């Protein structure tokens, strides 16, 4: 660990202060949560906000869910989320993919997902 980073950690009273010290400016994120029922037609599950810095989608139902960036996502083209599985995006690793709409479709009716988005807010 670089000496400068140690100073950021030792002098920070909380995570917001650590991030402000590290990046040179403060920022605050706001959680946005929603639940969606997923059937056999694609459903958009993320809000279209450019300020999103993280997203988590968890299959909370009993059926398989398939996710993708196209409204044409299907059970043969999407990424499979078995019951209990999660899909996560983060600005650091996923870049501008995080700014795109995400769609879910189920292999049966009555599926569900819980979505948590982290969006930048003013300080």
pLDDT of residue 24: 79
In a domain, residue 15? The reply is no
pLDDT of residue 104: 97
Phi-psi region of 15 (alpha: psi -120 to 50; beta: other; left: phi over 0): alpha
Task: Please tell me the total count of domains within the chain.
Answer: 1
In a domain, residue 110? The reply is yes
In a domain, residue 37? The reply is yes
Residues of the chain with pLDDT > 70, as a percent, come to 86
pLDDT in tens, 32-43: 999 999 999 999
Residues of the chain with pLDDT > 90, as a percent, come to 55
C-beta of residue 111 within 8 angstroms of C-beta of residue 61: yes
**Site of tokens 């569900």:** 112
Whole domain around residue 80: which residue ranges?
Answer: 26-121
For the chain, counts of helices (H) and of strands (E): 3, 8
pLDDT of residue 122: 66
CA dihedral (81, 68, 104, 48) positive or negative: positive
pLDDT in tens, 66-78: 999 999 999 999 9
> What CATH number does the domain containing 113 carry?
2.60.120.770
In a domain, residue 77? The reply is yes
Mean pLDDT of 47-72: 91
pLDDT in tens, 91-117: 889 988 888 899 999 999 999 999 999
In a domain, residue 116? The reply is yes
């Amino acid at each position: 660990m670089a000496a400068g980073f140690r100073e950021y950690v030792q002098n920070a009273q909380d995570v917001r202060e650590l991030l402000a010290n590290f990046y040179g400016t403060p920022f605050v994120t706001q959680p946005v949560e929603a639940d969606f029922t997923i059937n056999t037609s694609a459903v958009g599950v993320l809000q279209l906000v450019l300020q999103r810095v993280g997203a988590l989608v968890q299959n909370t139902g009993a059926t398989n869910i398939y996710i993708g960036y196209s409204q044409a996502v299907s059970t043969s083209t999407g990424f499979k989320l078995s019951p209990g599985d999660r899909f996560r995006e983060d600005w650091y690793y996923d870049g501008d993919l995080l700014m795109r709409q995400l769609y879910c479709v189920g292999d049966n009716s009555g599926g569900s997902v819980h979505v948590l988005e982290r969006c930048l807010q003013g300080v």
